[in-house]
């Protein structure tokens, strides 16, 4: 996972719980003197270990924590990459372009990013079916990103997670109802 994602988790933890907790988490889960550089990659296990401790500190489960993190992550990414997000004038246009446009741009900007495969299909004017596939199984983070995206466009959404690799399905299906 890119340092950028760790930087976002760092910002969230410091904002919610303070610098001391972040320092403790680094000490517990990382090699000495760890500093996250946005464009470099760090082990996925490190992110998950930190996220697990964050969940404990917040009294939430992993699912809730990854959703909250994903929601925060959308705003963070939109701040770091304003040009990419500004291409889109609505929630649904952005969602159907995640793979072909957004992550395709990410592919050009970062060296060997680990991205999920996402395909989004418009079912009707208020419904999008999104298929999420990734060996990292961060579908709850994807859900959070979608909530964050909805907030960005002042839309309200509901998401039904109808199939899930965490329940032994071959991929995750998110049925997004919006506007």
Q: For residues 27 and 169, which CB has a smaller minimum distance to Zn ion in the complex?
A: 169
Judged by CB under 6 A, the residue of 29, 66, 116, 159 near ligand HEM is 116
Residue list 155-174, contact with Zn ion (CB under 5 A) = 164, 172
DSSP state, residue 124: E
Minimum distance, C-beta of residue 164 to Zn ion, in the bound complex (Å): 3
Residue list 116-145, contact with Zn ion (CB under 5 A) = 139
Query: Per-residue DSSP letters for 129-157?
Result: EEEEE-TT--HHHHHHHHHHHHHHTT--E
Rule CB under 5 A: say whether 51 interacts with Zn ion: no
Minimum distance, C-beta of residue 123 to ligand HEM, in the bound complex (Å): 17
Q: What, of ligand HEM, Zn ion, none, does residue 153 touch, CB below 5 to 8 Å by kind? A: none
Q: Please state, as a whole number, how many other Cβ atoms lie within 10 Å of the Cβ of residue 102.
A: 20
Is the torsion defined by CA of 90, 144, 154, 74 positive or negative? Answer: negative
Q: For residues 131 and 164, which CB has a smaller minimum distance to Zn ion in the complex?
A: 164
Rule CB under 6 A: say whether 159 interacts with ligand HEM: no
Judged by CB under 6 A, the residue of 9, 102, 128, 157 near ligand HEM is 102
- Alpha carbon distance 104, 98 (integer Å): 8
| Phi, psi (deg, nearest 5) at residue 90 | -150, 160
């Amino acid at each position: 996972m890119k340092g950028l994602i760790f930087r976002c988790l760092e910002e969230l933890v410091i904002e919610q719980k303070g610098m001391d907790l972040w320092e403790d988490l680094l000490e517990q889960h990382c090699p000495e003197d760890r500093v996250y550089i946005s464009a470099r990659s760090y082990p996925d296990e490190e992110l998950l270990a930190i996220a697990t401790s964050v969940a404990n500190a917040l009294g939430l489960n992993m699912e809730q924590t990854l959703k909250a993190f994903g929601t925060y992550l959308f705003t963070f990414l939109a701040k770091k990459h304003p040009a990419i997000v500004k291409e889109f004038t609505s929630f649904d246009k952005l969602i159907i372009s995640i793979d072909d446009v957004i992550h395709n741009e990410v592919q050009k900007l970062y060296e060997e990013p680990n991205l999920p495969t996402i395909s989004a299909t418009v079912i009707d004017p208020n419904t999008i079916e999104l298929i999420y596939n990734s060996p990292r199984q961060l579908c709850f983070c994807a859900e959070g990103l979608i909530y964050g995206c909805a907030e960005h466009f002042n839309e309200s959404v509901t998401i039904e997670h109808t199939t899930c690799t965490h329940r032994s399905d071959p991929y995750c299906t998110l049925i997004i109802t919006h506007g």
